[in-house]
Chain A
Amino acid sequence: MSTIQLVQEVVIALLVVVGSFFLVVGTLGLLRLPDVYNRMHATSKATTLGAASLFLALFVSHGPRGAGLTSLVGIVFLFITAPTGAHMISRSAQKMGIEFFGDAEWPEEDGDA
């Protein structure tokens, strides 16, 4: 077994561990945080980062052709769509009139909103 193969396996294992860790952080944030907005923040950042790390492990495993290229496309897609979806959810929560947890308030409208 060559050195390059060994390095590849170590990098893949490391990326899988990091991805699982971020998935755990995101889902615990979803379960434990007190507010829709807080929960949305936790999941949309941490869970996306975890899935992207797993995709990166796939890229290291498969190389820059075929499935590896598809997983790079998956990373780009996740990084574009996850903030968009989170923004849509929080906007709909605001329009439904859901309050913040603490004494935080929405900023004043400037008139051209």
Chain B
Amino acid sequence: MATESGLIDLHLVYLAGLIIASGLTLLAGYRVIKGPTVPDRVVALDTIGTNVVAIAALFALYRGEGLFVTVSLVLAIIGFISTIAVSQYVIEGDIIK
């Protein structure tokens, strides 16, 4: 990682991205609480999942460590499975029939 750049301070860019993504995750919580219907809440939770994946990727950039990429991949997999499971549960009333 080259941190001593003459042109751009990359750490500042990463920090700004982290702040933006964290704020957006908090804002999406509004739709989880308020959302008129259950699918609204599921969509909002899916968005929160994608935002957390983005936060993990930004943190990997910020620290310059590759470990957090694996963390973000696992978070993406868990988010996908939970979305599928909840939408199955909503229509069928059961996940495994």
Measured CB to CB, the residues of A under 8 A from B are 1, 5-6, 9-10, 12-13, 16-17, 19-20, 23-24, 26-27, 30-31, 36, 39-40, 43-44, 47-48, 50-51, 54-55, 57-58, 61-62, 66-68, 70-71, 73-74, 77-78, 81-82, 84-86, 88-93, 95-96, 98
Question: Can you name 22 A-B residue pairings with CB atoms under 8 Å?
Answer: A1-B5, A16-B14, A19-B17, A23-B24, A24-B20, A27-B51, A30-B28, A30-B44, A40-B39, A40-B43, A43-B50, A50-B54, A51-B54, A54-B54, A57-B57, A67-B60, A68-B66, A74-B72, A74-B76, A78-B76, A85-B83, A92-B88
Residues of chain A with a CB closer than 8 A to B6's CB: 1
Main secondary structure of the interface of A (DSSP, over half): helix
Partner of B50, one of A16, A47, A61: A47
Q: Mark B1-38, 1 if CB is under 8 A from A, else 0.
A: 11011111010011011001100100110110000011
Given contacts A51-B54, A71-B57, A39 and B87 within 8 Å (CB-CB): no
Q: Are B84 and A66 in contact (CB under 8 A)?
A: no
Counting from the closest, the 8 A-B pairs by CB-CB distance are: A67-B66, A93-B39, A85-B83, A81-B80, A27-B24, A92-B87, A54-B57, A88-B87
**How many residue pairs at the A-B interface have CB separations less than 8 Å?**
169
Given contacts A27-B47, A77-B73, 12 further A-B contacts (CB under 8 A): A6-B7, A20-B17, A31-B28, A43-B46, A47-B50, A51-B54, A67-B70, A74-B57, A74-B73, A89-B46, A92-B42, A98-B37
CB distance from A30 to the nearest CB of B (A): 5
Rounded to whole angstroms, the CA-CA distance of A44 and B79 in the bound complex is 13
Asked if B66 contacts A66 (CB within 8 A), the reply is: yes
B19 to chain A, nearest CB (A): 9
Separation of A24 and B83 alpha carbons in the complex (Å): 21
